[in-house]
Structure 1
Amino acid sequence: MSEHTRPVVIAARRTPISTRGMRLRGRSVHELAAPVIRRCLADAERAIGSSLAVGDVVLGNCMGPGGNIARLSALAADLDVSVPGMTIDRQCGSGLSAIITASDAIRAGDSRLLLAGGAESASTAPLRIAHGVPYARAAFSPTGFPDPEMGPAAQELAAAFGIDRDRQDAYAERSHRLALVQLEAGGFDNELVALDELGRDDSPRERMTDLLPRFPSLYPTLDGPATGSVTAGNSCRISDGAAVVAIVSTGSRGDAPGLALLAHATIGCDPALPGIGPVAAVNQVLAAAGVSLDDIAAFEIVEAFAAQSLAVLYSLDLATPDFVDPRVCSGGGALALGHPWGASGAVSVVRLFTRLVREGAPAGSLGIATAAVGGGMGVAALFEVVR
């Protein structure tokens, strides 16, 4: 790859994230994405100092109505009708995979600005029917393979890694506590695109130390129906939201600071334990770039479940039963903010942009975004600050 065609994120924005059925329940998925696209493009043009031709809009989405949501969003954002759109479904990795896909187009020589990310309106997701019967989700794996729901799969990881209820609750409390600190300090303000219905994330909760023990177990174990350790409190909330980044080539960025994509990986794993997928993906990007986790300044994992997140962090030596590396989700994660499936991987990149670019990390600082994917996959991307 020529240094001239290295992809660089020069702008990154997201909506506030809201729990399904709450403040953003009236917005369709493209109505969430469109204002973020507009604002992200304006940020990019301000950073470059001139207007920019948009080559494509690539968005991740899991449960929307179809119809190429990226194209709908591009039109709703008042982009020129010549700008196309492509929608990607890699479940919870969709938003990050969209950013990777757009970046690969720039690696291949596309010299235009590309907008990429994800959007999800769980509140307006349509009812789906197969063989005359409604269903909540499509199969992640075909007949003959394990196809667990993500919650029971997290419970299996908790058992496999010996992660007890107290440890899961402590990790969930950490996420809420860190997110509340960010909220009160205005640490999210520069990445948010306020909407009429909502100006800030509405899911982080105070008093989680008191609340978490009250949640009942969601999934049984062999010891009985009330013995599981995964609860609604140490699981993410299903949410609405959108996140978008603007990507250009190194040769087009001028003096604009940003995050250059150094390496990425998407790898399959045992579909019975899909939450462990990020481990192999992270290790592959580290090997590809010739760096170690000690070299990473910021780490963002999509926190679908405390048990799942901890299993990954234990495997990467980023956590122990008594410690979580402070580089991990330092402003909280999906356990506190919520999990808008198709957008969450892109939210992780927006968070990296704030932590590393907006907050002044020196050139050369490294960050990783990663997510587990239903069906048994992990996706990870390694970024470097350029100034």
Structure 2
Amino acid sequence: MTELRVDQYSAVVIAARRTAISTRGMRLARLGVEQLAAPVLRACRADAERAIGSPVVIADVVLGNCMGPGGNIARRAALGAGFDVSVPGVTIDTQCGSGLSAIISATDSIRADSTRGNFSHGSGPRLILAGGAESASTAPLRIANGVPYARAAFTPPGFPDPEMGPAAQDLAAASGIDRCRQDAYAARSHRRALDQARDGGFDDEIVALEALEHDDSPRRQILALLPRLAPLYPPARGLSSGTVTAGNSCRISDGAAVVAVVANSVRGNAPGLALVAHATIGCDPALPGIGPVAAVNRVCELAGLRLDDVAAFEIVEAFAAQTLAVLDRLGLAGGDWVDPRVCTGGGALALGHPWGASGAVSVVRLFTRLVHENAPAGSFGIATAAVGGGMGVAALFEVVR
């Protein structure tokens, strides 16, 4: 294994927060996307200042978003958070990978500035707040040629552009993943999320909005309901029945997640996650859910690591079928077995999937698992997501203390 070194120029996540995740139309439904993000931005800045022990200068706000009203949501959220008008903002759309892409962009920016000696401003260390936000409840209706549509095309004419549910079912068929395995994986996600919530494992992450202090999707009764739910889509070719159901698919949700990124040279004694390597790679748009496989393998190759060297994995669980197809190919699942390092507190199948935020939620979860839970310095974690249109994004982090 190649020995990794976090130098003074490295970008380090020193704080990580999120809202509770709420199903579309429920507890967070009256809040616009910038209203979801603004309180989390404030909380993350406050955590960062406590960690460093001094005020910070916010150099930028970078947020992922898929379906919002536009108008540069990151800038709107920065102003809504009460930040100085000099704080800019940039909004990124990589669909379900948007929040993770925003964090990657922020770390690259911090590292680039640091190599030029811009570690800090006269009034404090420079910091970028990055993550994602999505309000599926308030997403505007979109119209093209006078016809409303639910989402934009992920590919141009002449390329496959399947809906995500049927694409997950096709991937399950191609991978030999049956309904029983999908339901069992969904049940695992709910059990782990419920156990994590019971033990207070989400408490340090969540910024309460609308008096919502806990994710509203994990539910014990789903365990009994899973076998009874009807398939959502016609069967894939060669199968007698469909396998993707409402129970083994994520819930469309509202939520926001943000991390604070600084140069390693100014973090002082604050523990955190240093970005070691990242990759965004395209794949066959007909099977978009498989994208994380190449991205995860690429970050390990860049870092000189094996998957056995990684302490924690967080994958955006859009569908049990898609997640298992990825994990099987990575050697992190097979048959009834799922590697215990994967989504120890459950994932999007239980918590919900606020599209543009979910990749950032994965990094918040890594921060809790590795930093708050005292993993030793030098431990590694990977966050990854599949992207509509056929892509995968992954980021490899190392614990610093």
| Distance change >3 Å, CA 294–CA 320, structure 1 → 2 | same
Name the structure 2 match of 1:277.
291
| TM value normalised by structure 1 | 0.98
The match for 1:180 among 165, 186, 194 is 194
What letter matches 1:81 in structure 2?
Answer: V
Say which of 155, 158, 166 aligns to 1:141.
Answer: 155
Query: Per the alignment, do residues 223 and 54 of structure 1 end up closer, same or farther by CA in structure 2, a change over 3 Å counting?
Result: closer
Which moved further from structure 2: 156-165 or 104-113? Answer: 104-113
Which residue is equivalent to 1:209? 223
TM-aligned CA deviation for residue 225 of structure 1: 10
Q: Deviations over 1:226-257 (max 9, x none)?
A: 81100010000000000000000110101100
Partner of 1:48: 52
Q: Unaligned regions of 5+ residues in structure 2, if any?
A: 120-125
Determine whether 1:13 maps to 2:17: yes
Aligned 8 A contact 1:299 1:367 in 2 = yes
> 1:22 corresponds to which residue?
26
SS at match of 1:381: strand
2:327 counterpart SS class: helix
| Superposition deviation, residue 197 in structure 1 | 3.7
Cross-structure match for 2:242: 228
2:265 matches 1:251: yes
State which of 65, 71, 80 in structure 1 corresponds to 2:84. 80
Mapped partners of 1:2, 1:332: distance in 2: 30
1:156 counterpart letter in structure 2: D
Displacement of 1:97:
0.1
Tell me if the contact between 2:66 and 2:134 (Cα under 8 Å) persists in the aligned partners: yes
2:63 matched residue in structure 1? 59
C-alpha contact (below 8 Å) 1:113/1:247 kept by paired residues: yes
Which residue of structure 2 aligns with residue 363 of structure 1?
A: 377
Are 2:233 and 1:241 equivalent residues in the alignment? no
For 1:114 and 1:18, locate their aligned partners in 2 and report how far apart those are by CA, in whole Å: 26
Is the CA contact 1:285–1:380 (under 8 Å) kept in the aligned structure 2? Answer: yes
- What corresponds to 1:302 in structure 2? 316
Residue equivalent to 1:108: 112
Cα distance in 1 for partners of 2:331, 2:369 equals: 22
Q: Distance in 2 between matches of 1:222 and 1:50?
A: 57
User: C-alpha distance in 2, partners of 1:217/1:317?
Assistant: 28
C-alpha offsets along residues 172-202 of structure 1, whole Å, 9 cap, x if unaligned? Answer: 0000000000111110000100112411111
C-alpha deviation, 1:322, in angstroms? 1.4
Q: Distance in 2 between matches of 1:225 and 1:368?
A: 34
Report the identity percentage: 76
Q: CA deviation at 1:209?
A: 2.4
Cα deviation per residue 1:293-315 (whole Å; 9 max; x = unaligned)?
A: 00000000000000000000000
Give the deviation of 1:208 after TM superposition.
Answer: 2.4
Query: Secondary structure, in 3 states, of the residue corresponding to 1:5?
Result: coil
Match of 2:363 among 339, 345, 349: 349
Q: How many residues align?
A: 387
Aligned counterparts of 2:310 and 2:262: Cα–Cα separation in 1? 23
Looking at structure 1, the residues matched to 347 and 282 of structure 2 have their Cα atoms a distance apart, in angstroms, of 24
Tell me, in whole angstroms, the C-alpha distance in 1 between the residues paired with 2:32 and 2:308.
41
Which stretches in structure 1 are left out of the alignment for 5+ residues? Answer: none
Which residue number in structure 2 is paired with residue 38 of structure 1? Answer: 42
For 1:146 and 1:7, locate their aligned partners in 2 and report how far apart those are by CA, in whole Å: 37
Tell me which of 121, 138, 141 is aligned to 2:135. 121
For 1:208, give the aligned amino acid. Answer: I
Q: After superposition, what is the alpha-carbon deviation per residue over 1:118-168, rounded to whole angstroms, capped at 9, x for unaligned? A: 000000000000000000000000100000000000001100110000000
Q: Please give the alpha-carbon distance, in whole angstroms, between the structure 2 residues aligned to 1:323 and 1:317.
A: 10
Are the aligned partners of 2:173 and 2:236 in contact in 1 as well (CA < 8 Å)?
A: no
Instruction: Give the match for residue 286 of structure 1.
Output: 300
Q: Which residue of 2 aligns with 1:378?
A: 392
Name the SS of the counterpart of 1:265 in structure 2. Answer: strand
Counterpart of 2:75 (choices 68, 71, 84) is: 71
Moved more, 208-217 or 87-96: 208-217
Residues 1:144 and 1:380: Cα distance change in structure 2 (over 3 Å): same
Matched residue type, 1:201: D
Distance, in Å, in 2 between the alignment partners of 1:2 and 1:281 is 22
Whether contact under 8 Å (1:243, 1:350) holds in the other structure is yes
8 Å Cα contact 2:28-2:210 kept in structure 1: no
User: In structure 1, how many angstroms separate the alpha carbons of the residues matched to 2:210 and 2:154?
Assistant: 36
Distance 1:222 1:102, change over 3 A: closer
TM-score by length of 2: 0.95
2:123 — aligned with what?
Answer: none
Alpha-carbon distance in 1 for matches of 2:164, 2:89: 30
